[in-house]
Amino acid sequence: MRAYARLTRDRLPTTIFPYWLRISRDDVAGGYRLRDDIMRSPVRAAARSLRHGRRPSPPEEKELVSQARLVWVFAHGHRREHDDGTALLDASHRGRQFLLDHHLDHERGGYRWSTDRVGQPRNDVKVLYAQSFVIYAFVELSRASGSREPLDDALELFRVIERELRDEHNGGWREHAHGDWSPLRADDARPGMAFPGRKSANALVHWMEALTALYEEVPDPAVRRALVEAVELCHDPVFPADPGATHEVFLPDWSPDRGGEQRASYGHNVEQAWLLLHARDALGEARDWERLHTYVEHALRVGFDHRRGGAFTWGHGDEAAVGREKIWWVQCELMIALTEALLDRADERYERALAQTVTFVEQSMTDRRDGILLESVHEDGRRRYARKSGNWKAGYHDVRAATRIAEAFAP
C-alpha cells in the first residue's frame, strides 16, 4: 500500500492533473469540453487515425455535473498542493465563471442541466443531484482560493433549493423540476438522470456530501437542519441497518419503488457509510464506526472478488453479486471506505482486500502512462469500456480516491 500510495502521490501533479487540464480545456468558449477519450495502444491509435482521418470530436453539450465536478477536481488539486503554480486554481475559476455565466438561471435561481458548447441553454431542468455538485465545487474553490465569493454562491444555491425543492409533505427534497421549479413528471425523459419524479439513494448521498462541506464552512442553522435531516434519511429509510435491505429508488413518500428491480449497489452503500463519518464530524457528533464496518463487511462478503480483487457492481440482498462488471467509481469508493475502516482498527481482511483492489485497479483498470482509470472491465479484467474521460467520467471519484490513498499511506 505504501508503494502504491507513493506512486499515486507522484502521479497526481505530474500526470493525473495535467491529463484533466489537457483533456477538458476549452479556450474558445470557456468551461470544460470533455470528449470520450478511449485508451488505445499507440499502434491502435495510429491505425484508427488512418481509418478515420481525425480524432473524435468533443461533444457539443456541456452538462452541469461534469462542469461542476471539474471545478471541484482542480480546486481540490490546488488545495492539496498538487499544483505547480496556479494552473489548477485558474482552471477552477474559469469553470466557475462558465457556470455563473451560462448554467445559472439568473431569474429563477438554480443551475440548468446543460448548455451547448458556447453556453446557450439546451436543457433547463433543475436536478438536485447536479445542484449538489455545484455547492460542493464552490465550497472547495473557496477553500482553495481563500475567496468568499464562491462560498456565498454556494449558500445562495442552498437557500434556493430549500425554497423550491423541499418536500414539506413527505420530508426530504424533490429531485427533478422544470426550469420554473414546477414538478417534473415521472415519464419526462429530459433530465439525463434516471428515475425522474422519484427519489434516489444516489442523489441523497451527494446532497448530504454537499451539505457537509457547506456546513463546515458556514455554521448556518438552516444548513445544519438540512444536514441533520439528510443524515437521518440516510439511516432510515434509505440505508437501513441491514445493508442487504437497501434500495436505489424510492417513491416521493420514501417507500421503495416496487416497479423496478431491488438492487444493492455496493459502491453507493460503502460511499454513504464513509461520507456519514464526515457528516457527523461536521455536526459535532461521534462517528458511527459500527455502521461503516457493517457496510464494508457486507460488500466484502457478497460483492467482492476475493480471487482477483476488486468490487462487483450490484446484487440482490445477501446473495452473490449479479452485476459482476467492475466499474471505476465503485473501486474508488471501496478503496476510500477500506482506508477509513483501517483508521478505526487494524483488520487483516481489510488490509488484504485493499491490497487486492489497488493491485487489480493498477494492473487491469489503469492507463499506466498517466495513471488515469478506465471506466469498466469484465470480472476477469478484460476491457469492457476503456473510456478515460467523458461527461460522466470527469475525475471526481478518481481524484478523491487518489488523494485519500496518498495522504493515508504516503503523506
Domain boundaries, the chain: 2-409
Q: Does domain 2-409 have CATH number 1.50.10.10?
A: yes
Per-residue pLDDT at 301: 98
Is residue 397's pLDDT more than 60?
Answer: yes
Is residue 192's pLDDT more than 70?
Answer: no
Q: Which pLDDT tens digit goes with each residue over 341-382?
A: 999 999 999 999 999 999 999 999 999 999 999 999 999 999
Is residue 58's pLDDT more than 70?
Answer: no
Query: What is the C-alpha to C-alpha distance for residues 196 and 177, in angstroms, rounded to an integer?
Result: 9
178: confidence class by pLDDT, cuts 50, 70, 90: very high
226: confidence class by pLDDT, cuts 50, 70, 90: very high
Per-residue pLDDT at 46: 53
Is residue 52's pLDDT more than 90?
Answer: no
Is residue 244's pLDDT more than 60?
Answer: yes
Per-residue pLDDT at 2: 95
Per-residue pLDDT at 259: 80
60: confidence class by pLDDT, cuts 50, 70, 90: confident
Q: What is the mean pLDDT of the chain?
A: 94
